[in-house]
Structure 1
Amino acid sequence: MHAVGVSSFGARIIARRRSGISSISGSQAMAVLRMMSLVHSRSLPPTHLSAESFNGRNRIVGAQRLWPTVCTTRSWSSQIRADAGVAAVDATKKAAQSGAFVDGLLGVESEAGRRLTSSQIIFLGTGTSEGIPRVSCLTNPEKSCAVCLAAAQLGNKNRRRNTSVIVRYLAPDGRLLNILIDAGKFFYHSALQWFPYYGIRNLDAVIITHAHADANGGLDDLRDWTNNVQPHIPIYVGLRDLTVMAKSHYYLVDTSVVMKGTAVTKLQFIPMSEEPFEVHGLKVTPLPVWHGPGYRSLGFRVGDVCYISDASEIPAETYPLLENCDLLILDALRPDRSSATHFGMPAALDEVRKIRPKRTLFTGICMSWIPCSFAKQFFMGCLLLQYLMKYLMAALCEMTEMTGMMHTMDHDKINAELAKLLDSEGLDVQLSFDGMQIPIDL
């Protein structure tokens, strides 16, 4: 057994030798830990890393923090993404394999280079504005949020970034065009993970649904493309939203205000109305919806795919645009109720019953409503009720696990319940997840 000391970061690495396997150098082990962000803080607990033989090669198969909530350590496929686990890392290579960057880990098999035979849609993000997991849940000493704790594990489908999809349009002339819908705050992190994996390099257009940060907060990051991949990127955005962005993204909308010599993203803003328009020959139909009282947001239809990521109400004039929909991608924030600006699952299901698409995937998913820890802190603040609330809170937390009202927007559990609708109502409804790929006919 060979030990590698990292006491300055309050962690240790144990590299185990097995029959026919060479030991892992300290520099390789430290590099992997840095990539996994496990040694960036002195407060982190000790960590151990093991090397095992896998298909005749040395691979680091996992890293575990030595505390009660321990991440599972098994190899996983980013194609299936069914279980929480750690991606295998080839410890003998210094460079990343082609198309292999998943949450800071190298060596994951990718689909880059595989020839597409149809258009497809890829979910870059399926979460709400804050994303999942949330820092407040991970740092809560009570560790009461099961969804966020699960999402902290690599490969878990509860890990969600800002809602965004990329439409990969296989044009009649054979060109493969990448059309991004929304570039929010987490866009660059999504691109790091999924662009190499799916072999996506260029961005042929970006379409913005509305002027909130979870839809356009990543526009500045497009400079990596306009500096290194392509000269500019067309941005399709509603005129009202462009007026807002002229203030929030003033230096992107009006580059004349930028200091000379400063690198700035080269974007071509194209105002759009609520009428259909074309992007590189692909017809795009706006789907006007309400994203809270008086606030207009846009969904979009391409072919028979309808995408509505931020909505609290669908106006009457939009329903005809949703007829004969094969795939509906719809906002569903919480399992129990709607908010002022987003459909909850009951309201979203009512919309599915009206529209009757062949298939529905929910997006914009939150971890859930209110953690038990918050309610406990609130009630325990009432000193006269502490003794009574000790028992009431235990009953409350037990109840919420049954009703799905608090912190139970778990991907697999919710999908198991939604699957029952196929038999009872003929509705094919499931939650989407980050990295999900769907072939579509355009």
Structure 2
Amino acid sequence: MSTDPLLNEPTGDKNAAASAEVVFLGTGTSVGVPAIGCECDVCTSSDPRNQRTRCAIVVRMQNGNLLVDTPPDLRTQLLREKIPLVHAVLFTHEHVDHLYGLDDVRLFPFRLGHPMPLYCERHIEERIRRVYDYAFSDREPTHPGSTPQLDFVPITHDRFQVLGADVLPIPMRHGPHFNVLGFRFGDFAYCTDTNGIPSESMKRLRGVDTLVIDALRFRPHPTHFCVEEAIEVIDEIRPRRAYLTHLCHEIDHETVESNLPEGVHLAYDGLRLTIDLSAE
């Protein structure tokens, strides 16, 4: 019998080990939407799909909830989506909008009974140790929970397992100075913050059913795919469905969604998708 990762109670679903739910915590660019001080039509829109916090997802699996990135909006996002527990964290890269909510995982080790596992590349670990140096101090803590309890699990570009699920890294470029990772979970791939996917990485995306890909705006950008470029990648990979994420305030949900090609959609905060972890 399987276990619901949100409630830690038996579900009775024999297919739960292969099935997972992806929850979009945030789908916005680094400054979020609405942008501070902006009075454009999207930033002042009443459409909740135009309210975009910084990018992150949770993959809810049989053995727990896997958080991909820790944006500055993390506490608000987890409360909004009623996700009371995270069992592990996986990082795409170390930029502020994907990292600086890490302190919000501080409560979870009390319930887990062990430090929070952080799956990341070595250079991301080094950044975390600098930014959150107080979490790694030799000074005696004043009280339990005064600092985050973190446990690094190094990853490379090789396949690895998290919470019993296979994860395949997708090495990508994020402008001229940064390498980032996308991730494939069964028939689902998450590729945010990129404007270049090498041919070897494209091979790792073959056969995906659902692709989530960066599409910042309509105009070209030096570190992100624009909508047209993202659609070109989608046309090459040919997933059954694709979702554009990391969207700025130039993207009005209703207007743009209605003009996208068949099978291509805009992601939005709170979107939930069912995926198959066993497919490859």
The two structures have a TM-score, normalised by structure 2, of: 0.88
Q: How many residues get paired?
A: 265
1:168 has 2:60 as partner = yes
Q: CA deviation at 1:134?
A: 1.6
| CA deviation vs aligned residue, 1:34-63 (integer Å, no higher than 9, x gap) | xxxxxxxxxxxxxxxxxxxxxxxxxxxxxx
Runs of 4+ in 1 over 3 A off after TM superposition: 111-118, 227-231, 257-262
The higher relative CO (CA closer than 8 Å, separation ≥ 6) is in 2
Contact map agreement 1:289 1:299 (CA 8 A) in 2: yes
Unaligned runs of 5+ in 1: 1-110, 138-142, 171-175, 369-408, 423-427
Which residue in the other structure is 1:353 paired with?
A: 235
| CA deviation vs aligned residue, 1:202-257 (integer Å, no higher than 9, x gap) | 211100110111111111111122245643210001112212222122223x2425
Q: What SS class does the counterpart of residue 122 from structure 1 fall into?
A: strand
Matched letter for residue 146 of structure 1:
D
Q: What SS class does the counterpart of residue 220 from structure 1 fall into?
A: helix
| CA deviation vs aligned residue, 1:108-158 (integer Å, no higher than 9, x gap) | xxx989957541111011001111112211xxxxx4x010101xx4x6110
Q: What SS class does the counterpart of residue 255 from structure 2 fall into?
A: helix
CA shift in 2, pair 1:229/1:277, >3 Å: closer
Q: CA deviation at 1:192?
A: 1.4
1:147-296 alignment to 2 at 5 Å? 147-150=42-45, 153=46, 156-170=48-62, 176-194=63-81, 196=82, 200-227=83-110, 230-252=113-135, 254-256=136-138, 260-261=142-143, 263-296=146-179
Q: CA deviation at 1:364?
A: 0.5
CA shift in 2, pair 1:350/1:251, >3 Å: same
Q: CA deviation at 1:181?
A: 0.4
Contact map agreement 2:215 2:245 (CA 8 A) in 1: yes
> Among 16, 19, 24, which residue is 1:123 paired with?
24
CA shift in 2, pair 1:133/1:229, >3 Å: farther
Q: What SS class does the counterpart of residue 438 from structure 1 fall into?
A: strand
Q: CA deviation at 1:163?
A: 0.8
Take 1:314 and 1:346, find their aligned partners in 2: how far apart are those partners? Answer: 15
> Among 302, 318, 342, which residue is 2:224 paired with?
342
Contact map agreement 1:205 1:235 (CA 8 A) in 2: yes
Contact map agreement 2:141 2:147 (CA 8 A) in 1: no
Which has the greater radius of gyration? Answer: 1
Unaligned runs of 5+ in 2: 1-5
1:415 has 2:257 as partner = yes
1:419-430 alignment to 2 at 5 Å? 421-422=261-262, 428-430=263-265
Take 1:258 and 1:147, find their aligned partners in 2: how far apart are those partners? Answer: 48
Take 1:169 and 1:240, find their aligned partners in 2: how far apart are those partners? Answer: 27
Q: CA deviation at 1:338?
A: 2.5
> Larger % of helix: which?
1
Take 1:212 and 1:346, find their aligned partners in 2: how far apart are those partners? Answer: 24
1:315-330 alignment to 2 at 5 Å? 315-330=198-213
Take 2:198 and 2:59, find their aligned partners in 1: how far apart are those partners? Answer: 25
Which residue in the other structure is 2:184 paired with?
A: 301
Contact map agreement 2:87 2:112 (CA 8 A) in 1: no
CA shift in 2, pair 1:177/1:261, >3 Å: closer
Q: CA deviation at 1:201?
A: 2.6
